[in-house]
Amino acid sequence: MVGIGGSVDEGSQSDRVLRAVLSDVTALGGKVEVFSGLDLDLPPYHSGAVLPEPAHDYVAAVRAADALVISSPGYHGTVSGLVKNALDYLEELRTDRRPYLDGRAVGLIAVAGGWQASVGTLGTLRQVVHALRGWPTPLGLAINSRVTTFDERGGTDDDSTRTAVGIMARQVMDFPRR
Ligand SMILES: Cc1cc2nc3c(=O)[nH]c(=O)nc-3n(C[C@H](O)[C@H](O)[C@H](O)COP(=O)(O)O)c2cc1C
């Protein structure tokens, strides 16, 4: 399972929610690899150019993954440039036996400082994953970081969001097993 997302900001909530889902995945027996924040500080994707060294592990991990979790902050109403650029690098998987995210379940998380951007960003992530031939899980997480916060250990006092984190972990684990 590969986790992608977060921001470069200290205490990034989109990073913390991503890691909370992945921690539940680990508890369910999944093996996870995370590329978050500065791990994704890659130059703008250029199709056909030599892949920059830091992108090699990232692209290889997605190629090998059975499922993914993607978490974006809402920036100016939509997916952040950092996360979208990371998704653009998946163009490298175009000619694979399983192109792009073909056949893979993808849990989607959007975290913004308001509902409009969190809900809008979740919808956009679904569109991007459909374009990449992935299967967004039925449950997506749209989180307003002014209402719900996660601590550095992935804990939150918002019980319904904590429950939703666990459901997403189960959905991304169930799909590849089926
Ligand atoms: C450049 C930038 C643009 C942002 N735009 C929005 C926005 O349009 N709507 C909103 O609700 N929050 C916006 N935010 C706030 C983030 O969505 C918020 O901090 C959220 O917690 C996700 O970011 P984080 O992972 O760094 O915590 C913006 C933050 C930054 C840095």
Tell me the pLDDT of the chain (178 aa) as tens digits: 999 999 999 999 999 999 999 999 999 999 999 999 999 999 999 998 899 999 999 999 999 999 999 999 999 999 999 999 999 999 999 999 999 999 999 999 999 999 999 999 999 999 999 999 999 999 999 999 999 999 999 999 999 999 999 999 999 999 999 9
Cross-strand bridge partners of residue 74: 79
pTM to 2 decimal places = 0.98
Give the position, in ligand 1's atom list, of the atom nearest the Cα of 13: 27
Cα–Cα distance measured from residue 112 to residue 61, given in angstroms and rounded to the nearest whole number: 27
Please report how many Cα atoms fall inside a 13 Å half-sphere around the Cα of residue 143, on the Cβ side: 30
Point out the ligand 1 atom lying closest to the alpha carbon of residue 9. 26
Distance 75 CA to ligand 1 centre (A): 5
117 C-beta closer than 6 A to ligand 1: yes
- Is the Cβ atom of 161 under 6 angstroms away from ligand 1? no
Which residue's CA is the closest to the ligand 1 atom numbered 12? 113
